[in-house]
Structure 1
Amino acid sequence: MQIGRRFKQTTSFQDRLSAFISGARYEANAAPGGADEYELRKKIRQAETAANIEAWASSPELQPPK
């Protein structure tokens, strides 16, 4: 049985998402349009949603039930 390789992330998930979003926005603004730009903007929306969910899940207001 082969064990998968694992590694520890050096940056936080939020930082990686924001870096992806900013880079993808730059690419989408430079894109001429069409299907490629649409797919890129779709990925940007998905990453923004993931960032919002991650921020909500890690917020101090979210408490486990007692």
Structure 2
Amino acid sequence: MSLQPPSEEAANLLRVQLSERQIEHRDLDLVITHLSENPPPDDLLIRRLKKRKLGLKDKIMQLEQLLTPDIPA
């Protein structure tokens, strides 16, 4: 089963979404590192941020797959 590549307009939208999620992922990584080195009174915040970061990583991978055309074997 072969998926059709996205139209140019859809690909541009996907690229914007990908870029936004990559920036947010990078920002969360910085916040998590800072909070890990300077722990707040509650570890729940770090766990929530790490969960959000993993969710963003999954979404980034999905968007990258949509933008990368399938190469026939």
TM-score (norm 1): 0.71
User: What's the offset of the Cα at 1:39?
Assistant: 0.3
- Counterpart of 1:41 in structure 2 is 50
Displacement after TM superposition at 1:27 (Å): 0.4
TM-score computed with the length of structure 2 as normaliser? 0.64
Structure 2: gaps of 5 or more residues: 1-12
Which structure has the highest helix share of the two? 2
Amino acid at match of 1:50: K
* Displaced runs of 4 or more, over 3 A: none
User: Once the two structures are aligned, what percentage of the paired residues are identical?
Assistant: 8
**Superposed counterparts of 1:1-66, under 5 Å:** 12-31=16-35, 32=39, 34-61=43-70
**How many Å separate the matches in 1 of 2:23 and 2:66?**
20
Q: Distance in 2 between matches of 1:27 and 1:59?
A: 30
Secondary structure at 1:12 match in 2? helix
**Structure with the larger RCO, 1 or 2 (CA within 8 Å, 6+ apart):** 2
SS of corresponding position for 1:55: helix
How many pairs align?
53
Gaps of 5+ in 1: 1-8
